[in-house]
Amino acid sequence: MAIILLLLLAPSLAAADVFCDNVKAIATTLSKNAASSPVHFATKTFGGAPNVVFALGLCRGDVLDGPACGDCIANWFGKALNRTRCDKARSTYGDCIVVYSAGDDILAAPSNTTGAYGDNTPPFQQWNIKNVTTGDVPLVVGLVRELLVETAEKAATTAPRLYATGVMDMARVTTYPKVYSQAQCTPDLFADDCSACLRRLLGMVNSTMSLRIGGQMAVTRCYFRYEAYRFYDAQPMLILPSPPP
C-alpha cells in the first residue's frame, strides 16, 4: 500500500517541483528587468503548460533607484519562496508589488466583461484598526473620498508611470489632520483602463472601510492607499485646496 501511495503522489510532487523551479527562474529575470526598466516595471512568462508561470513586478512610483527596485522584488521572492508553497501570491508591502500565477494569465489584455485587465480575484486590502472619531465624521469621510478620486484620476493621466500622490489639509473644517494619498497602475495600461481599474477598487470601499483613518487596496494592475501621515518620500504631486468652512 505504501509503495502504491508513493507512486500516486510522485507525479504531483514532480509537477510541483517543476512549477517551483519555474517560479525561481522567473524571479531572477523579473528583478533584473524591473531594475533596468525606466518605469521600474517588468512582466515575464516562463515554462510550458501545465506549469507555465505568469508574473509581473512593479516598484512604487517614487522609487527612482533601479538597483533598489530590483532588490525589493528579489527580496520579496526570497521571502515568499521560503515560507510558502509556489502557489499564486501577491505582495503590496514595502516599495514593490509582485504577482505570479499558475495558469491564470494575469498579463492578458483587457476584457469587456471583466474590466481593466480583468482581475476577478478578491482584492488585497489592509485597513487601520482605528476609525475617524474627531470632527464631522461624514465630512471627513467625504473629503477622503474626494482626495482618492482625484488622486486616481491624476495617476491615470500621468504617463509614463501612471502614478500619483496627493494631500488634503482639512484644518479649516475639522480637527482631523492632513490626509495623504497614493494611486498607481501598471505602466502598460491605457489611461482609460487605469482609471477603470482604480474606480473599481474605490467602488469596493464600503461604509465600514470608509470610516478607517488609513488603508490600502490592490488588485493585480492597480492599487491605492491613504494615511493620516506622509508615507512616501517625495512631495505630494496633487495638493487639494482646503475646503471652505
pTM for this model (two decimals) = 0.84
Does the pLDDT of residue 186 top 70, yes or no? yes
Residues 6+ apart with CB under 8 A from 43: 30, 54, 55, 56, 57, 107, 188
What percentage of the chain has pLDDT greater than the value 90?
Answer: 48
**Residues 177-184: what's their mean pLDDT?**
94
Q: Quick one: CA dihedral 128, 131, 135, 137, positive or negative? A: positive
* C-alpha cell belonging to residue 179: 490626509
Domains of the chain: 13-102 (3.30.430.20), 124-240 (3.30.430.20)
Average pLDDT, the chain: 83
Q: Are 175 and 151 in contact (CB under 8 A)?
A: no
pLDDT exceeds cutoff 70 at 58: yes
What pLDDT is stored for residue 85 in this prediction? 63
Q: What is the pLDDT of residues 152-171, one digit of tens each?
A: 999 999 999 999 999 999 87
Q: Report pLDDT for 66.
A: 93
User: Stretch 34-49: mean pLDDT, rounded?
Assistant: 92
Q: pLDDT (tens digit, 9 = 90+) per residue, 77-99?
A: 888 776 556 665 566 556 898 88
Residue 224 grid coordinates: 491605492
The rounded percent of the chain whose pLDDT value lies above 70 is 82
pLDDT at 84: 55
Classified as helix, coil or strand, 230 is coil
Rounded-to-10 torsion of CA 230, 41, 93, 141 = 50
CB 73 within 8 A of CB 31: yes
114 has pLDDT over 70: no
Neighbours of 81 (CB within 10 A): 15
Report which of residues 10 and 134 the model is more confident about. 134
- State phi, psi for 151 to the nearest 5 degrees: -65, -40
